[in-house]
Amino acid sequence: MGKMYAELIRMRFLTMLAYRVNYYSGIIIYAINIGAYYFLWGAIYGGQQQMAGLSAGQMTAYVAIAWMSRAFYFNNIDQEIAQEVRDGRVAIEMIRPYNYLSVKTAQALGEGIFRMLFFAIPGMILISFLIPFHFPASLQAWGLYLLSLLFAFVINTEINLLTGVITFFLFRNEGMMRSKRVVVDLLSGLILPISFFPGWAQTVMGFLPFQAINYYPSVIFTGAVSEARALQMIALQIVWVLVILIPITVLWQQARRKMIVQGG
């Protein structure tokens, strides 16, 4: 079984490599985003030492790492599922002796590892030359970050699976997928760290899974939270991983029963 998933990850790797232009333009887009946010936050801080619990240096690191984390956890498998449902290719997936959703997750992981190795790591090295940047000091801090990044990937992928599976019922849900994308980017703390939101909004977001996708790993990376708080964040991530699994399982069983294959 493990071998099959390893092969799937490898295939996705090769597919990503097949499109070089996509790859290069991806690097440029990430570089522009990080650069823009770096200068924007520089202007906002304007000499202030600290805002919402983050120093200017930590903020820089936060912006850079938030985008780099996104390179790993981000994927479009919801749109892939939607596409496969719409043009009927899902039929091919159903004649394979595997679970469709696990396979999609493995493919997403292949994509994530690809982006991490070929975008994020070279990008980080490049950025550390240009802007003052602090990497976590201890191996332990690195470990906590990577662990929380992995869970961030799982949660984001689960949300994508959920919106993807809804296509089985609605047939067209681009609107939902697009708004999900904006919501995830905004509420996960990619655009604005969660600690910058007003108090009531932070309370609401405490009940939502989105900050576990980006804010937790990024803030762990910057060292702005204690180790105990970091562990607590990871525990919360695990809770979310399990909670979101429930609606996915229910919806998937429903979808299997009422599946219609479009065209032919």
Partner 1 sequence: MIKIQNLQKEFRIHQARSGLAGAFRDLFRREYKTVKAVDDVSFEVAEGEIFALIGENGAGKSTTIKMMTGILTPSGGEMQINGYVPYKQREEYVRSIGVVFGQRSQLWWDLSPLESFRLLRSVYKVDELQGQRWLERLIEELDIGSFVSQPVRKLSLGQRMRCEIAASLIHKPKLLFLDEPTVGLDVLVKQKIREFLRNLNETENMTILLTTHDVSDIEALCKRVLVMDKGKLIFDGQLHDLKETWGNGTEVVFQFKQRTTIEQLQAALAELPCELLRENEYAIRVRIVQNHEMLPYVLSTVMTAFEVSDVKIMETSTEEIVRNIYSAPVEVSHYG
What single-letter amino acid sits at 133? Answer: F
Stretch of 2-10, 45-53, 126-134, 241-249 lying at the interface with partner 1 (CB under 8 A) = 2-10
Residue 243 neighbours by CB distance under 10 Å: 12
Query: In 3D, which of 247, 196, 237, 191 has the Cα closest to residue 217?
Result: 237
Binding mask 35-74 toward partner 1 (x if CB under 8 A, else -) reads ----------------------------------------
| 3 scored as a contact of partner 1 (CB under 8 A) | yes
| Contact residue for partner 1 among 7, 36, 39, 208 (CB under 8 A) | 7
At its nearest, how many Å lie between partner 1 and the CB of residue 96? Answer: 6
| 172 scored as a contact of partner 1 (CB under 8 A) | no
Stretch of 4-12, 61-69, 154-162, 207-215 lying at the interface with partner 1 (CB under 8 A) = 4-12
DSSP SS3 for 63: helix
If you search the block for the tokens 């849900």, which residue do you land on?
Answer: 173
At its nearest, how many Å lie between partner 1 and the CB of residue 129? Answer: 34
Query: Are 8 and 105 within 8 A, CB to CB?
Result: no
Find residue 54's DSSP bridge partners.
Answer: 51
Query: Are 111 and 16 within 8 A, CB to CB?
Result: yes
Within 240-259, the residues that bind partner 1 by CB under 8 A are 256-259
Q: In angstroms, rounded to a whole number, what is the distance separating the alpha carbons of residues 239 and 218?
A: 19
| 18 scored as a contact of partner 1 (CB under 8 A) | yes
Query: Are 217 and 148 within 8 A, CB to CB?
Result: yes
Nearer to partner 1, 106 or 124 (CB): 106
Sequence-separated (6 or more) residues with CB below 8 Å from residue 208:
187
Measured at the CA of 70, the angle between CA 67 and CA 72, to 5 degrees, comes to: 125
| Contact residue for partner 1 among 15, 25, 232, 249 (CB under 8 A) | 15
Nearer to partner 1, 10 or 229 (CB): 10
| 264 scored as a contact of partner 1 (CB under 8 A) | yes
E-strand ranges in 93-236 read none
Binding mask 74-113 toward partner 1 (x if CB under 8 A, else -) reads --------------xx-xx-xxxxxx--------------
| 175 scored as a contact of partner 1 (CB under 8 A) | no
Number of residues that bind partner 1 (CB under 8 A): 28
At its nearest, how many Å lie between partner 1 and the CB of residue 227? Answer: 40
Q: In angstroms, rounded to a whole number, what is the distance separating the alpha carbons of residues 184 and 66?
A: 13
Q: How many residues does the chain have?
A: 264
If you search the block for the tokens 């919806």, which residue do you land on?
Answer: 251
Residues that bind partner 1 (CB under 8 A): 3-4, 6-8, 11, 14-15, 18-19, 88-89, 91-92, 94-99, 256-261, 263-264
